Amino acid sequence: MFSFYLSIFLFSYQNYHYMDPEVKDHLKRLETKIDDLDDKLSDILLLLERDIKPNCSKMSSHIDFIDTVYDTVKNPLGFICSKVGKLSGNETHTLTDKSG
């Protein structure tokens, strides 16, 4: 959008004969740099929308799956660990988060 305003600015001042050619050249280079930055920003936004968001969604689904599997096997696994621990003389076991 800024490039559009810069183009209007350039167009307005290119009609004046008294404008310094060095200033014109500098403005054209600035416009080119802004257009390049705009293209790069568009590429970054496309990458975010096309690649990053779906991958984050996949990771979230994977985490949900792991949580579900863990909740399913936690109690049977705890029972087995408890029995093995009693047989081996070590009755300490835990499958829950000790911090919470």
Beta-carbon contacts of 91 under 8 Å, excluding residues fewer than 6 positions away, are: 82, 85
Q: What local confidence, expressed as pLDDT, does residue 71 receive?
A: 82
User: Residues, the chain, total?
Assistant: 100
Tokens of 29: 């280079």
Other Cβ atoms within 10 Å of 26 Cβ, number: 11
Looking at residues 3-16, what average pLDDT do you find? 62
Is position 6 within any domain?
A: yes
Q: What local confidence, expressed as pLDDT, does residue 34 receive?
A: 92
Its pTM stands at 0.45
Is position 73 within any domain?
A: yes
Give per-residue pLDDT as tens, 16-65.
Answer: 556 678 877 887 898 899 999 999 999 999 988 888 877 888 888 889 89
Q: Following CA atoms 35, 38, 42, 44 in sequence, which dihedral angle do they give, to the nearest 10 degrees? A: 120
Is position 8 within any domain?
A: yes
- C-alpha closest to that of 3 among 26, 28, 25: 28
Is position 95 within any domain?
A: no
Share of the chain above pLDDT 90, in %: 15
Q: What local confidence, expressed as pLDDT, does residue 84 receive?
A: 82
